[in-house]
């Protein structure tokens, strides 16, 4: 049975140009090309992962959409089930039947989620943002914002507002790696010219 499953994953990878090494990653999830899923990663069927994104070991992804070129470190837990604190007991046996379904997590493009992060349901994480190791993300994260802590709080920005505006306008995450290198070279040139003008 194990060998049959392994063969199914091998065939899926070949057909879809993916690198799914974990047999706990549902093949009913949506994986774009060049996605890499390490061993010991759980991906539920209600997950979508964009091209060139990768996920490291001991990570669990549920009920989420992940953009292109994202980097997800080991030990990350996205949209885990939560206990119903309004019920008589927090034990799932007493969970109310009318309880709403968990809201999905939306993760933009080029997001870095560091080691052992937890992202709670309903959170939107903007393009280019960075989540520090061990953070618990309970609210939305702006594009290119850096957050860390429990609960996660703002600690900085990756770039100044003008650079963020320029990057967002390029929508480079829709391109292939060769074209992105050209865009990056243009960004470095722009930064170099700004320094000369100062």
> What distance lies between CA 182 and its chain's CA centroid?
25
Q: Which of these is catalytic: 16, 17, 83, 124?
A: 83
Torsion angle of alpha carbons 106, 75, 120, 83, nearest 10°? Answer: 140
Where does the chain have alpha helices with state H? Answer: 2-16, 161-170, 177-197
83 counts as catalytic: yes
State the CB neighbour count (10 A cutoff) for residue 73. Answer: 19
State the CB neighbour count (10 A cutoff) for residue 93. Answer: 8
Cite the active site residues: 83
């Amino acid at each position: 049975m194990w060998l049959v499953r392994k063969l199914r994953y091998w065939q899926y990878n070949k057909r879809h140009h993916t690198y799914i090494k974990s047999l706990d990653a549902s093949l009913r999830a949506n994986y774009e090309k060049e996605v890499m899923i390490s061993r010991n990663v759980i991906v539920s069927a209600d997950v979508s992962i964009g091209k060139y994104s990768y996920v490291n070991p001991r990570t669990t992804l549920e009920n989420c959409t992940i953009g292109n070129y994202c980097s997800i470190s080991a030990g990350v837990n996205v949209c885990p089930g939560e206990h119903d604190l309004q019920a008589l007991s927090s034990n799932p046996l007493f969970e109310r039947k009318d309880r709403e379904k968990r809201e999905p997590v939306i993760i933009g493009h080029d997001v870095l989620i560091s080691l052992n992060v937890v992202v709670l349901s309903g959170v939107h994480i903007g393009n280019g943002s960075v989540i520090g190791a061990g953070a618990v993300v309970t609210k939305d994260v702006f594009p290119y914002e850096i957050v860390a802590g429990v609960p996660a709080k703002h600690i900085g920005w990756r770039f100044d507002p003008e650079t963020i505006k320029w990057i967002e306008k390029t929508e480079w995450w829709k391109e292939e790696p060769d074209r992105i290198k050209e865009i990056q070279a243009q960004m470095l040139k722009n930064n170099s010219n700004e320094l000369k003008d100062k």
